[in-house]
């Protein structure tokens, strides 16, 4: 890739950068400076970051170089710049969730994933922009302003992890972390043309992730290659006693299986996710991906997951209900913004009125209503029963196949303002990704060609719980096929 004015920019996937740093062929300091130069050249145009931690990154790189010179091995991500979604607690660095209500708040501790990245030698270069409290599908709902898609700056990068996806797509960092509650890693990955992974719920610790909807949130990587995504997931996954929902399983061994291919694997194309509302060019790319897997030796057929059609409706009751509970802690007393008033109750109201944006307020009100007396059973309770049906339908499908294939998004990246006036239209952007959050199963988006205007299209590989190894095997085949 080239930087501004045709100058050479940062090169190479993360695993190659780390290998060179570990061997002493490149210095972490030089790598970090190259990426900081790339950020400086285009960040003003894209606004991928809420804060750039340049000096901390240079200090960390210098320490890594001293360790390498002393004969130490800093780890599998030695010297690799990483961007963190700004809802991951980072000690001493503002962690705002792109909300006025947390402006300037600096956590006193690191999220578990941040600790694990540091232990593996990665260097944090900044905290990325997102839809406020991860509520959105375009990164337009941010108190710091929108992020632009590096492929076409007139279009959104997707959301809510739009800053992380844009940072990787623009060459600001070879890897980034995001969170995925209803598609917030996979959808922006598809819009920006990068790899994005939502692991099995509980596979990656949520300790230090600012909560949106606790039964749905999951942290995962963005990368330019399937191999880099596998490497990052190996680093951040594994049991964490600080997270009560963490699965008592070791990190998956993914790099070892990337060359195993898909011969003999049974793959089902999800019929319900190819219907009305999905653009023809997206359907065509998904069917082309199915053909590529078939050509590589997989047994491909169309399958039905009937309850997936109700995923959107169930999600937009369950997620706001959990959000209304989680966001009650922002009261003007313990964190961030405080708007003084005559009484405590008035101060609470004034703080939340000024501190939360419109989309967050919309979801808090919806969730509070769904949980209120007289409506709980009719709305929240019924949505949870639909969630159970979705899990059962996925389980039934996985009795017939090993993996599922679907579009990641119904459309390519849309223009700014196209959907902000119609929340339902915006919510439909996640119709293909939400079912995996409700089931808790892993899924990932892999770039698979382009639509009109050269806009990226992603296809989605889905797997049963803890089925990341087979999922990555298929993703590697698709990545090779599209080359």
- CA of 25: how far to CAs of 67, 118, 190, in Å? 14, 21, 34
Q: Are 153 and 48 in contact (CB under 8 A)?
A: no
Q: With the C-alpha atoms ordered 338, 340, 341, 344, is the resulting torsion angle positive or negative?
A: positive
Backbone angles phi, psi at 218, to 5 degrees: -155, 140
Q: Are 143 and 129 in contact (CB under 8 A)?
A: no
- Give CA–CA dist 238/424, Å, rounded: 36
Neighbours of 241 (CB within 10 A): 10
Backbone angles phi, psi at 105, to 5 degrees: -70, 130
Point out the residues that are catalytic.
85, 160, 184
Which of 352, 321, 372, 319 lies closest to 134, judged by CA? 319
| Tokens read off for 425 | 């239209």
- Give CA–CA dist 220/228, Å, rounded: 12
Residues 6+ apart with CB under 8 A from 344: none
- Give CA–CA dist 223/230, Å, rounded: 9
Q: Are 134 and 88 in contact (CB under 8 A)?
A: no
- Give CA–CA dist 370/45, Å, rounded: 40
């Amino acid at each position: 890739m080239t930087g501004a004015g045709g100058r050479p920019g940062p090169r190479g996937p993360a695993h190659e950068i780390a290998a060179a740093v570990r061997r002493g062929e490149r210095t972490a300091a030089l790598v970090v400076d190259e990426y900081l130069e790339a950020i400086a050249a285009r960040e003003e145009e894209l606004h991928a970051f809420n804060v750039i931690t340049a000096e901390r990154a240079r200090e960390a790189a210098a320490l890594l170089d001293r360790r390498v010179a002393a004969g130490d091995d800093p780890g599998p991500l030695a010297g690799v710049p990483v961007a963190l979604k700004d809802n991951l607690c980072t000690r001493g660095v503002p962690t705002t969730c792109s909300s006025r209500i947390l402006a300037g708040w600096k956590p006193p501790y690191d999220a578990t994933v941040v600790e694990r990245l540091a232990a593996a030698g990665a260097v944090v270069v900044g905290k990325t922009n997102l839809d406020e409290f991860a509520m959105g599908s375009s990164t337009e709902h941010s108190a710091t302003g929108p992020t632009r898609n590096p492929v076409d700056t007139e279009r959104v990068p997707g959301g809510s992890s739009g800053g992380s996806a844009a940072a990787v797509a623009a060459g600001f960092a070879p890897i980034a972390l995001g969170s995925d509650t209803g598609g917030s890693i996979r959808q922006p990955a598809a819009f920006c043309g990068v790899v994005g992974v939502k692991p099995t719920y509980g596979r990656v610790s949520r300790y230090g992730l600012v909560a949106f909807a606790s039964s749905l949130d999951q942290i995962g990587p963005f990368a330019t290659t399937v191999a880099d995504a596998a490497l990052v997931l190996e680093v951040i996954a594994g049991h964490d006693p600080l997270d009560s929902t963490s699965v008592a399983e070791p990190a998956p061994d993914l790099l070892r299986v990337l060359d195993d291919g898909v011969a003999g694997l049974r793959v089902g194309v999800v019929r319900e996710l190819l219907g009305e509302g999905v653009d023809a060019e997206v359907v065509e790319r998904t069917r082309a991906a199915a053909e590529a897997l078939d050509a590589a030796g997989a047994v491909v057929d169309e399958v039905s997951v009937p309850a997936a059609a109700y995923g959107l409706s169930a999600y937009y009751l369950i997620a706001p209900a959990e959000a209304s509970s989680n966001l009650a802690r922002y009261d003007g007393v313990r964190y961030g913004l405080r708007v003084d008033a005559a009484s405590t109750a008035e101060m609470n109201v004034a703080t939340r009125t000024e501190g939360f944006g419109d989309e967050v307020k919309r979801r808090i009100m919806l969730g509070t209503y769904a949980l209120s007396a007289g409506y709980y059973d009719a709305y929240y309770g019924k949505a949870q029963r639909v969630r159970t049906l979705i899990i059962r339908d996925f389980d039934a499908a996985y009795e017939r196949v090993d993996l599922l294939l679907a579009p990641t998004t119904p459309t390519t990246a849309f223009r700014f303002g196209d959907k902000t006036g119609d929340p339902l239209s915006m919510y439909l952007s996640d119709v293909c990704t939400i079912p995996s959050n409700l089931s808790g199963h892993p899924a990932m988006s892999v770039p698979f060609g382009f639509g009109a205007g050269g806009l990226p299209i992603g296809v989605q590989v889905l797997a049963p719980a803890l089925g990341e190894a087979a999922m990555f095997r298929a993703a590697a085949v698709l990545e090779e096929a599209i080359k």
